[in-house]
Amino acid sequence: MPASKNPINSPKKQIIFYLLILLGVIFWLTVGFFFGKLSTKQIISWFLYTNPVLDYDVSSSIMDNKNVNLEQDLQEYLEVKKWKNKTTHISVYFRNLNNWNRFGINEKEEFSPASLMKLPLLISYYKLFEENPDILKEKLLYIPDPEEQKITQNIKPEKTLSPYQKYNIKELLDRMILYSDNRSSILLENSIDFELYKKSFTDIGINFPEFKDGMFENNINIVEYASFFRVLYNASYLNRSDSEYILDLLSNTSFLKWLTRWVPDNIVVSHKFWERVIDWEKQLHDCWIVYYPNHPYILCVMTRGRDWEVLKNIITDVSQKIYNEVDLQYNKK
């Protein structure tokens, strides 16, 4: 039988063929990096972070195994922690993003939003960006603000702004989230229409926190804060591209490692932490979307007490307990 006339039948032509494929892949990756707002993870999976499903079949259990009672187990653990460590308040909120089932412990307890305000501020600017695509290119001059002296950061940002330098809004927003930089957030707050800023709260059904003596008081609860992650995951407030970008940004924060050391490197976590001191009382909080394969979930933990290390350990313990239970339920290996 005569040989096939396949045009890539010869070794030489096969090499050329595969080289062309490789060059094509490199070309499209380059286009993604230089002309889009996409990270490597997003190029591989265009919609890694969002899932705008409009309806859910809500079942009676948080997990697939109805015998698991996460709320009761955590309640007992937290009571012991409060008694032993003189921790004044601990709140926990968990939401299964496959069926929207949830539970909360002390979920009505109010805390200071503090650095929480950076996330709705970011969302507010991207809402403006949908109407004015040039806004992120605008430059703002950083002049030291006296208000900065009122805010003490126990966890210092890795990078901050240099006085009397100009930065474009896109860079300020990135710095504000990646490094939790207060200089960036104060400059951005002073440059936005405050009514538009408040609208990012009221549009999703949350009252805007009130000021007292230039500071936010204890006036937001854990369920309200989790709502910002919910609308980003749903892409129900911003368009899907911008929701993806924000969640990707939150997955690259410089504070991720010590708060999520229990999560394997191959699992993406988008999160925002914040801290605050009011008189003698310290507050440390964190909120995540943990993208466990096929079973993502929201988890928020808010704490108040006297010792930073105690608060940090409680957050990591609770989050690890939740992750271990999810892994036990869904790991099919």
Kindly state the average pLDDT of the residues 64-72. Answer: 61
- Chain centroid offset of residue 130 CA: 20
Per-residue pLDDT tens for 1-13? 444 444 444 555 4
Provide the whole-model pTM.
Answer: 0.79
Kindly state the average pLDDT of the residues 33-45. Answer: 41
Residue 260, pLDDT > 80, answer: no
Secondary element (H or E) of residue 274: strand 269-278
β 139-141/110-111 pair status: unpaired
Q: Are 292 and 267 in contact (CB under 8 A)?
A: yes
Residue 159: per-residue pLDDT: 86
From the options 3.40.710.10, 3.30.350.10, 3.40.50.300, 1.20.140.10, give the CATH code of 40-330.
Answer: 3.40.710.10
- Chain centroid offset of residue 223 CA: 15
Task: Give the number of other Cβ atoms within 10 Å of residue 124's Cβ.
Answer: 22
Instruction: Give the closest residue to 147 by CA, choosing from 182, 196, 191.
Output: 182
Three-state secondary structure call for residue 285? strand
- Measured between alpha carbons, how far is 38 from 18 in angstroms, rounded to an integer? 26
Q: Are 172 and 124 in contact (CB under 8 A)?
A: no
Task: Give the number of other Cβ atoms within 10 Å of residue 58's Cβ.
Answer: 10
Three-state secondary structure call for residue 245? helix
Give the chain's mean pLDDT.
79
Residue 256: per-residue pLDDT: 54
Kindly state the average pLDDT of the residues 208-214. Answer: 68
